[in-house]
Structure 1
Amino acid sequence: MLWRLIRTHLGPYAGAVAAILTLQLVSTATTLYLPSLNGQIIDDGVALGDTGEIMRLGAIMLAVSLVNILSTVAIARQASATSAGMASDLRREVFGRVTSFSAQEVSRFGAPTLISRNTNDVQQVQLVVNMGLMFMMSIPIMMIGGIFMALREDVGLSWLVAVSVPLLGIIVGSIVVKMLPWFRRMQESVDAVNRILREQITGIRVVRAFVREDVEEKRFDDANTTYTGTAVAVGKLFSSVFPLVMFVFNLASVAVWWFGAKRVDAGQMEVGAVTAFMQYLMQILMSVMFATMMSMMIPRASVSAGRITEVLQTPSSVIDTPDAPGLEDGRLPVRFDMVDFSYPGAEQPVLHDITFQANPGQTTAIIGSTGSGKTTLVDLIPRLYDVTDGSVRIGDRDVREVPLEDLWRHLGLVPQRPFLFSGTVASNLRYGDEEATDEQLWEALRIAQAEDFVSAMPGGLDAPISQGGTNVSGGQRQRLAIARALVRRPAVYLFDDAFSALDVATDARLRAALRPHTRDATVIIVAQRVSSIMHADQIIVLDDGRVVGIGGHEQLLASCPTYAEIVASQALTEEAA
């Protein structure tokens, strides 16, 4: 899976990879030639006292070294640029896939693991690619070429190569095998740390309100301890590699000098040949060590590649139809025809046999007890989820047959928990329309009853907004989200409990200001307060995922016990207050 992922995403960099491989050939060839030159200087120059030969061979050696240095530097620069480019493409592809997910896939993976897969996991793959590009060809050539050159110097010492290379491979290979399961645990523990940290940062107010700092600290400490223990276990195994490698290196060096000296004394070798043989043996062992280091990185990268591939190969449950004709601009009714919806793995459907129509120029309100399926029903219109049975239609088209971009272009959604992005008031409002003028933004703010507090903010439209809108109150955040939807001027407005943080007076002013602005649009409002929707043209009453009443306020009071019960309970609450 790792190699398939790398091969696919290195395709656009084929030219750069070819250049790197060519440079590796040059670098490896010069590296293999240098010990032979060194041996010739000792045997043909120093031993014979031939200064001219020493100068000649020295000049060649200097030139070869310069070529080696330049090619090595070029390899490092090109490999870093190529691996970074590939990682950038991979992150972009993962991000694109995640943004195509429906709410169902996002919930299944979870935000923390999606973040770590697009950062930490991609980084692990990038590291392996970088190392591979730097040593992919040089390692096997160095090993094979080093053995050939060493035997060329002296066959009698070849048994040292036959003993030291397998010994080093067996030692390091056994450690790599032990490290493999630990790498998967490490990536999973990174996910756990990210998940808990994200929960604690997002829910810091709840943590403090319930004085649960100690409990949350213990949760984080447990996850952090697990990650630390895994990292320490990997570190211990990793740290044992180098002492063992150095032991083999030193043992091989002693053996070469010991047995080489005997062969020199017997007249079977020259001193320069022993020196060259020694250097070739070190090059061979270094190649084995680098190969082993890469093999140690590959298991973790393989785990990361599997996690990345899982994201890339997960299809969205919401399938786009980009080639289908778009919706016509203008007045668009929304109709639910015998709609059922079940969450994956749920025993019972959340929505049963939902049938109603919301018409342009009218306000359709949806009310019901907590858990009755109000938000789920609204989420089916922009296809955050797809229906299990039946159909949701906008205009005369099933929403599943409309290109997603075109569908969203006709919708203005204010979610139950409005989210603002880091930037300014203006940049957040222009999510609705990038070309909106300042005058259009102020008009939307006036309708959303947000003009006063935005005018009072330093910079007005240019006032900074922190991530999530944490530097404004809940009511201000809701009004900015409503203004963002108004800037778009869509054919269908979806307000999912969008007035819950507003006081009754502000709620009333906002609804009054909305009427002329949305007179040609289809407006669907999910609300908890009866006072927010009692003047709606049509009220849909949900109970346990079923429609139990459709009509106006007075009609439902008389004909729908569930609605009457909701009205009565809220009246009692207001009297008690």
Structure 2
Amino acid sequence: MIKKLSACIREYKTASLLAPLFVTLEVVMETIIPMLMALLIDNGIEAGNMSEVTRIGLLLVVCTLLSMFFGACSGNYAALAATGFAKNLRKDMYYRIQGFSFANIDKFSTSGIVTRLTTDVSNVQMAYQMIIRIAVRSPIMFIFALGMSFSLNARLSLIFLAIIPFLALGLYLIIRTAFPVMQRVFRTYDKLNNVVQENLSGIRVVKSFVREKKENEKFDEVSDEIYTDFCKGEKTLAFNMPLMQLAIYTAILLISWLGARMIVGSSMTTGHLTSLLTYAIQILSSLMMLSMVFVMITIARASAQRVAEILSEESSIVNGPNPVKEVADGSISFRNVEFRYAKDQEKPSLSGINLEIASGETIGILGGTGSSKSTLVQLIPRLYDVTSGQLLVGGRDVRDYDLETLRNQVAMVLQKNVLFSGTIKENLRWGNPDATDEELVHACQLAQADSFIQTFPQKYDTYIEQGGTNVSGGQRQRLCIARALLKKPKILILDDSTSAVDTHTDAMIRKAFREEIPGTTKLIIAQRISSVQDADRIIVLDGGKVNGFGTHEELLATNKIYREVYESQMKGGDSDANDA
């Protein structure tokens, strides 16, 4: 874990080294000051020597100014190093996530990843700043101040050594008790983020079904769970301060009492006792600061482990040695393919898939809910990898291709249509960053999107809100289809991507595909038979297996499932027509 996190320091190594260096210089100045105070009292004030008072006073001013300068420098470099470290952590995690397969993302969950990128990184940042400043300052202050106190009076300084084991034991028990609670808290944060994310993304559904009360209850339940655990953890950590104060005041009382007796017995000067009390405060405050660092590290340790999990995760889908950089054509071949989402999944999602699809064919895919239609097409661009068997595109196993090359030649319009905040042009250029305005318009004409875009005052410069909330579902689908067409792919996959458009528009889109991109292999997942009946061939899936594969006429004659779906939809259409 430490190795993974420290690799993110990179260009901030210099700042990370300068911060403890200036902290050390600051501590040196602070430990010299009490010694000068002792000399000022004993040799200047009590002796009535004003020249000595002036000389030592000037030294005190110089040491104080230097201490202030070194402290400011250490704070500046510590802040620079910590914020830079956090920036690199977020960057490395985000870049790592971009390379994850769907299986990796499924493992962590979206809400868990968001928590790691935000709350967890902030905790690690705070801990790192404390480590390079306070965690350096405290032990150095302890060592220097303890050395100085022993040089003044070794017998009284033994009090400090007697207190240390007591503090160490108490701190160990506090951290051991609090750490598991903090681990649980951050796991619960994932649940809270998930509840908030679901609620906000589905707020229209929540309001439509008047489920605000139920959603509030869900939020309160998770929020109360975090509150309970945090209270438990903080109550445990709260023992740290009373423990430190008990040690400090006990030490000061013992030193004051024993030191006063020594002054009366003429075995110690007033200046030495004053300095020793100052060193006592420095020693014990350094221990208090060190305990605070341990507390922060206890909180941040759970976060650091979660961040390191992301940085250590290897994508389950990577390029092989010497990847192929060109896809010959859009032919697709499934050879005894089996797929499971998890290795321990009892029943495979897909099994015994054997299909041969020629380049340029239009293939319809039908099947009931849960028949693994989306899973089948997601294997083609390697969003998931087959568990066993072979999947070939352009005559080569998909695992032989360079991932970017393969995915650039396979355009997908997913079941859930996603548009990003930005203009229509910016969204369309996801398909081709170098597309001209004419190419954008042509793609939108093929997708039957140009007609509604022209009705907007800003046309192609119209701003799309986050998630495409200011356009209808059908408009989102058509924009996503146009975006996919701009890739000029060898394979185009539409995963139930025309469900929100009317049958006339659907037919116009399919006609444009036939006339404008005849060489592109088109896979169309649909619920309506009318959307696929003019396809070259149609795949019927049932329970993750191919139940039928042929033309519309062939399946009507030979496939029971296809015939039942066709008849039910045709009867439904006749009924609707009669009602009208």
TM-score by length of 2: 0.95
Aligned residue for 2:32, secondary structure, equals helix
State the partner residue of 2:341. Answer: 343
The answer (yes or no) to whether the contact 1:351–1:377 under 8 Å persists in 2 is yes
TM-score with structure 1 setting the length: 0.95
Deviates more, 1:256-265 or 1:480-489: 256-265
CA distance in 1, matches of 2:457, 2:491: 33
Name 1:157's counterpart in structure 2.
Answer: 156
| Counterpart residue identity of residue 438, structure 1 | D
| CA 576–347 in structure 1, closer or farther in 2 if over 3 Å, else same | farther
In 2, are the aligned partners of 1:322 and 1:404 still within 8 Å (CA)?
A: no
Q: What are the within-5 Å matches in structure 2 for residues 553-572 of structure 1?
A: 553-572=552-571
Which whole-Å CA distance do the structure 2 matches of 1:548 and 1:19 have between them?
A: 69
Cα distance, 1:291 vs structure 2: 1.0
After TM superposition, list the pairs within 5 Å mapping 1:167-246 onto structure 2.
167-246=166-245
Q: Which moved more, 1:84-93 or 1:200-209?
A: 200-209
- Of 331, 334, 357 in structure 2, the residue corresponding to residue 333 of structure 1 is 331
The runs of 4+ residues in structure 1 deviating greater than 4 Å are none
Give 1:322 deviation, angstroms. Answer: 6.9
Moved more, 417-426 or 171-180: 171-180
Q: Equivalents in 2 of 1:5, 1:304: separation in Å?
A: 14
Question: Residue 550 of structure 1 contacts residue 556 of structure 1 at CA under 8 Å; is this kept in 2?
Answer: yes
Partner of 2:523: 524
Asked if residue 107 in structure 1 is aligned to residue 140 in structure 2, the reply is no
- The 2-side partners of 1:382 and 1:111 are apart by 22
Question: Structure 2 CA distance, aligned partners of 1:348 and 1:190?
Answer: 32
Structure 1 letter corresponding to 2:21: T
> Deviations for 1:383-423, whole angstroms, at most 9, x for unmatched residues?
11111111111112111110111111111110011111111
**Distance in 1 (alpha carbons) for counterparts of 2:246 and 2:467:** 56
Match of 2:548 in 1: 549
Matched position secondary structure for 2:354 = strand
- In the aligned structure 1, how far is the partner of 2:131 from the partner of 2:351? 56
Q: 1:388 maps to which residue?
A: 387
Q: 1:458 to 1:55 in 2, by over 3 A?
A: farther
Instruction: Kindly indicate whether the alpha-carbon contact (under 8 Å) linking 2:19 and 2:77 is maintained by their aligned counterparts in 1.
Output: yes
Residue-pair matches, total:
575
2:439 aligned with 1:435: no
1:168 CA displacement: 3.6
Partner SS, residue 497 of structure 2:
coil
Instruction: Tell me what 1:145 maps to.
Output: 144
Percent identity between matched residues is: 35
State how far apart, in whole Å, the 2-side matches of 1:7 and 1:46 are: 52
**Greater CA deviation, 469-478 or 305-314?**
305-314
Q: Distance in 2 between matches of 1:332 and 1:448?
A: 21
Counterpart residue number, 2:124: 125
SS of equivalent to 1:137: helix
Counterpart mapping for 1:232-271 below 5 A:
232-271=231-270
Superposition pairs of residues 459-498 of structure 1, within 5 angstroms: 459-498=458-497
Contact 1:165 1:284 in 2 (8 A): no
Closer/same/farther in 2, CA of residues 316 and 377 from structure 1, 3 Å limit: same
Shift, 1:112, TM fit: 0.6
SS in 2 for 1:198: helix
SS at match of 2:382: coil
Name the amino acid aligned to 1:354. I
Aligned to 2:274: 275
Measured in 2, the distance between the counterparts of 1:267 and 1:96 equals 70
Instruction: Name the counterpart of 1:513.
Output: 512
SS in 1 for 2:8: helix
Q: Please give the secondary structure, in 1, of the residue aligned with 2:353.
A: strand
Show the counterpart of 1:316. Answer: 315
Which piece of structure 1 moves more, 88-97 or 473-482?
Answer: 88-97
What SS class does the counterpart of residue 38 from structure 2 fall into?
Answer: helix
Cα deviation code 1:524-551 (max 9, x no counterpart): 1111111011111121122222222222
The CA deviation at 1:236 is 2.4
Secondary structure at the counterpart of residue 215 of structure 2: helix
CA drift at 1:335: 1.7
Which deviates more, 31-40 or 459-468? 459-468
SS across alignment from 1:122: helix
